[in-house]
């Protein structure tokens, strides 16, 4: 059998021949070297074991019968080294039992003595092809393990990124099963962790969201669908869901990626704006129409009597005062929202401010026949605060107590100091507040609509201003009330403020 010359563009295969017969060693070396293989020889199996880890041979030809360590013992020891080397046995005793023992110890093939150069080269080529396949198999295995590790790392990185997102993310496959999600998504839609291999109809509690995902994945012409999804009982509890189908190069749908953005706060702002517009339309239209009507009566000469004219002008003036109060409340809210108000913190006598406010309320109190009663301690009540804010707090509480009272009722304003905290209590014998309304009275623009309050003008901003002022001093405000039996507002404020000076 003719020998095929070794290709010059490939590194020569490395071969080790182990045999205690010098003639066999030299003959093998000459034949293999002539073929272009890098060939080493040794008569000692022990020495060969030292060379194996160092030179990484492709093929080892080993004689079975040698003094010291024989071939079978060598094969067993070589296997423990874990090399990619292929082993071929050289023997003069080629029996079936020998072949089985050699194979068990890792031998690939054997060549029987005496052998011709062609027989040696034939076995060598098969063994080297085996060595090449073993190395290629191991390389592919290592590549596979590396790719799996990279994939696991990439999936972990993707999971970390998705979990870190404030927007909710839900990924579904072609069978409409949830395969990836983050905690933000579960929190937004109020969902427990979806189980494996469950259809979105069984794992997502929002039918509108399920229909949106199914609609987006039903046809490949859809690039993205975006829709508002209601997620709670309140009108403003809404998420913006954006569903993008994922397709393969042939256009088949592989699933969808859904991104959820919580727009509840924006919706709440929209609702508040709508309430504001409705409030302004109502609160401005009625007094302005009344003022316009009164002025037209005077201008058209329907009220020639000066006393009648004065009465109409006084009514118009009262309406204008109510409008100015509303504008002032809106400006106060605006300043608080923009945090543009300048607070001048200094030591104040709150009892003196309470007396000033009650004096300012005398016209309203006289009109309603409800003079406020002051219950003040004998000594000054000193507190570090802004004069304008404390005055606004007391003004809103006392004016509400007068306006929402019955004619001839009582209003009591009391101050006391307890545990380094100032307690302000404003009580009345008025119409009272329902338990349901007590949960919302500090919301902006909220006013309880009852038969007893329908004629009382107001913006619904006074108590929200009071609440903001109290919160600004890290205080507390509570209310006790029953319908038809009056209300009591209690404010607790710390006497000393660490923020002193101008802010």
Query: What are the helix (H) ranges across 300-386?
Result: 306-338, 350-360, 362-368
Q: Considering the domain boundaries, does residue 200 fall inside one?
A: yes
pLDDT in tens, 469-499: 999 888 999 999 988 889 999 999 998 654 4
Same domain, 495 and 350: yes
CATH code of the domain in which 254 resides = 3.30.450.20
User: Which pLDDT score, from 0 to 100, does residue 195 have?
Assistant: 63
User: Which pLDDT score, from 0 to 100, does residue 338 have?
Assistant: 58
Closest C-alpha among 199, 236, 241 to residue 224? 241
Same domain, 368 and 293: no
- Residues 427-446 have a mean pLDDT of 87
The Cα–Cα gap between 412 and 358 comes to 11
- Residues 123-147 have a mean pLDDT of 85
Same domain, 212 and 184: yes
Domain boundary among 85, 109, 141: 141
Among 152-166, 178-192, 201-215, 277-291, the range scoring the smallest mean pLDDT is 152-166
User: Which pLDDT score, from 0 to 100, does residue 333 have?
Assistant: 67
- Residues 294-308 have a mean pLDDT of 86
The per-residue pLDDT of the chain, averaged, comes to 83
Q: Considering the domain boundaries, does residue 9 fall inside one?
A: no
Q: Is the pLDDT of residue 300 over 90?
A: no
- 196/253: higher pLDDT: 253
Same domain, 106 and 194: no
Q: What percent of the chain has pLDDT over 70?
A: 88
Q: Considering the domain boundaries, does residue 147 fall inside one?
A: no
- Residues 440-451 have a mean pLDDT of 78
User: Which pLDDT score, from 0 to 100, does residue 491 have?
Assistant: 96
User: Which pLDDT score, from 0 to 100, does residue 2 have?
Assistant: 42
For 185, the domain range is 165-262
pLDDT category at 502 given cuts 50, 70, 90 is very low
Q: Angle CA(322)–CA(324)–CA(325) in degrees, nearest 5? A: 65
Name the domain count of the chain: 4
Residues 267-286 as b or e (16 or more Cβ within 10 Å = b): beeeeeeeebeebeeebeee
Same domain, 122 and 224: no
pLDDT in tens, 34-93: 988 999 999 988 888 889 888 888 899 988 888 888 888 888 888 888 778 889 988 877
pLDDT in tens, 330-383: 777 666 665 545 678 889 999 999 999 999 888 888 888 888 999 999 888 899
CATH code of the domain in which 71 resides = 3.40.50.2300
């Amino acid at each position: 059998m003719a020998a095929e010359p070794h290709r010059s563009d490939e590194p020569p295969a490395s071969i080790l021949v182990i045999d205690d017969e010098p003639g066999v060693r030299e003959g093998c070396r000459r034949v293999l070297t002539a073929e272009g293989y890098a060939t080493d020889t040794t008569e000692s199996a022990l020495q060969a074991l030292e060379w194996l880890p160092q030179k990484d041979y492709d093929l080892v030809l080993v004689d079975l019968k040698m003094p010291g360590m024989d071939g079978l013992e060598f094969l067993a020891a070589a296997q423990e080294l874990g090399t990619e080397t292929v082993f071929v046995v050289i023997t003069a005793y080629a029996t079936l039992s020998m072949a089985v023992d050699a194979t068990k110890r890792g031998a690939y093939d054997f060549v029987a003595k005496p052998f011709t150069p062609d027989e040696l080269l034939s076995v060598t080529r098969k063994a080297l092809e085996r060595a090449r396949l073993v190395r290629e198999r191991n390389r592919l295995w290592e590549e596979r393990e590396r790719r799996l590790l990279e994939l696991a790392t990439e999936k972990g990185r993707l999971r970390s990124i998705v979990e870190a997102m404030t927007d909710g993310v839900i990924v579904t496959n072609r069978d409409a099963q949830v395969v990836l999600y983050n905690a933000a998504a579960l929190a937004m839609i109020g969902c427990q962790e979806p189980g494996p291999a469950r259809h979105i109809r069984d794992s997502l509690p929002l039918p509108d969201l399920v229909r949106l995902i199914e609609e987006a994945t039903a046809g490949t012409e859809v690039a993205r669908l975006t829709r508002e999804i209601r997620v709670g009982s309140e009108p403003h509890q809404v998420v913006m869901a954006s569903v993008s189908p994922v397709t393969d190069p042939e256009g088949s749908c592989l699933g969808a990626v859904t991104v959820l953005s919580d727009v509840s706060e924006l919706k709440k702002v929209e609702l508040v704006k709508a309430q504001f517009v409705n409030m302004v339309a109502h609160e401005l239209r009625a007094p302005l129409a009344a003022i316009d009507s009164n002025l037209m009566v005077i201008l058209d000469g329907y009220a020639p009597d000066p006393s009648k004219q004065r009465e109409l002008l006084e009514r118009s003036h009262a309406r204008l005062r109510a409008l100015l109060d509303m504008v002032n409340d809106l400006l106060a809210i605006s300043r608080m929202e923009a945090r543009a108000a300048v607070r001048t913190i200094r030591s104040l006598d709150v009892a003196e401010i309470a007396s000033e406010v009650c004096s300012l309320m005398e016209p309203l109190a006289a009109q309603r026949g409800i003079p406020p009663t002051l219950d003040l301690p004998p000594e000054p009540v000193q507190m570090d605060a802004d004069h304008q804010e404390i005055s606004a707090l007391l003004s809103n509480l006392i004016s509400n107590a007068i306006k929402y009272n019955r004619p001839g009722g009582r209003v009591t304003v009391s101050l006391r100091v307890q545990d380094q905290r100032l307690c302000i209590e404003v009580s009345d014998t008025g119409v009272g507040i329902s338990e349901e309304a007590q949960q919302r009275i500090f919301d902006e623009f909220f006013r309880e609509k009852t038969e007893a309050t329908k004629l009382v003008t107001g913006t619904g901003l006074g108590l929200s201003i009071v609440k903001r002022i109290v919160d600004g001093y890290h205080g507390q405000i509570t209310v006790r009330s029953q319908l038809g039996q009056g209300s009591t507002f209690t404010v607790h404020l710390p006497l000393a403020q660490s923020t002193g000076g101008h802010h």
